Amino acid sequence: MYYNKIGDFMFQYTLDNKRYHTLNYYFKNKYGKKTFKVSLNAGFSCPNKIKDGKGCIFCSRLGSGDFAGNQEKDLITQFNEIKEIMEHKWPDSYYIGYFQANTNTYAPVKVLKEKFETIINLPNVVGLNIATRSDAISEECYDYLEDLNKRTDLIVELGLQSIHNKTLKFINRGHDLTNFEKAVKELQKRNIKVIVHIINGLPNESKKDMIETVKYLNKLNIDGIKIHMLHIIKDTDLADYYNSNPFHILTKDEYIDIVCEQLEYLKPEIVIHRITGDPKKEDLIEPTWLLKKFVVLNDIDKEMKKRDIYQGDKIKEV
């Protein structure tokens, strides 16, 4: 924490008066200028889908890569098309190749090398973000990621969603908490940064359950977190379940309340890579308030200011 030139109290890890550790701050502090992610679809599948043909009950047909590149196009074409769009807003930037759709370590290492090396060799690419699952990283893959980490700024994103095994079973996650924790430790042993995805509002979870998930992650010394609001997408098992077994979906105010408290339990050094979702309007069933992403972001800021709280305020209670 520090005071700015006019004497106002400021959170240390922000450039725009946020009260949590922003990704914008992390990139600017690390690279010295604007850096953005280029979301790619490398055509990987998912072991959970292969196992039972379904996968997680909330997963879209694009494998949670709805804003990634077009799988029908090669990676270079995907990268350039998305980069050119982003550069209209942020010219003269650095890029992070983001392998987003499905499980991006679910292939032989030879295939992984072909995909990943293609992107890290492009001009102004300073790193890779690889989204995957804790049960889809082989020993050979760990070794390759360790080597890759020496040559680029590598971050591995692990989906967890909840620490509660009863919830993981309900959402058909395909692995338990022990498997997840083992993967985090294996990556950290190799000095690879880890981002974890969690979902608020999963069926049958209380606010206490969601807070416990964050408290647990805080103890794992992760590098970043993505906080999502559960949203029901058309043509998913979750949509079928919701139609036959309607359950309570968090209101915007309930979600903001939970997120604000979750942030208080996270160490200030943990980067907040995402704090809400942005589903496609044409695919979304509920909650429709998620479509107003910037309203949600602004309301989180307002609520943290109203409560006079900052990320990490409650870490002594963890």
Rounded to an integer, the average pLDDT of 42-47 is: 88
Q: Is the pLDDT reported for residue 64 higher than 80? A: no
The pLDDT tens digits for 71-97 are 788 999 999 999 988 888 888 899 999
**What's the pLDDT at 89?**
86
Structure token pair of residue 54: 């379904």
Domain chopping of the chain, boundaries: 13-224
Q: CA distances (Å), 216 to each of 196, 203, 219, 302, in order?
A: 12, 20, 5, 27
Question: How far out from the chain centre does Cα 268 lie?
Answer: 17
Q: CA distances (Å), 169 to each of 30, 218, 280, in order?
A: 39, 23, 27
Alpha-carbon distance 22 to 24, whole Å? 5
Rounded to an integer, the average pLDDT of 281-308 is: 95
Structure token pair of residue 259: 């997120």
> In 10 A of CB 265, how many CB atoms?
21
- Topology annotation, domain 13-224: TIM Barrel (3.20.20)
**What's the pLDDT at 237?**
92
Rounded to an integer, the average pLDDT of 218-234 is: 95
Residue 295: phi and psi, rounded to 5, are -65, -45
Check: CB of residue 10 under 8 Å from CB of residue 1.
yes
The residue among 107, 101, 212, 108 whose CA lies nearest residue 157 is 101
Alpha-carbon distance 207 to 250, whole Å? 10
| Total-model pTM | 0.93
Rounded to an integer, the average pLDDT of 128-156 is: 97
The residue among 262, 292, 151, 122 whose CA lies nearest residue 201 is 262
Rounded to an integer, the average pLDDT of 153-161 is: 97
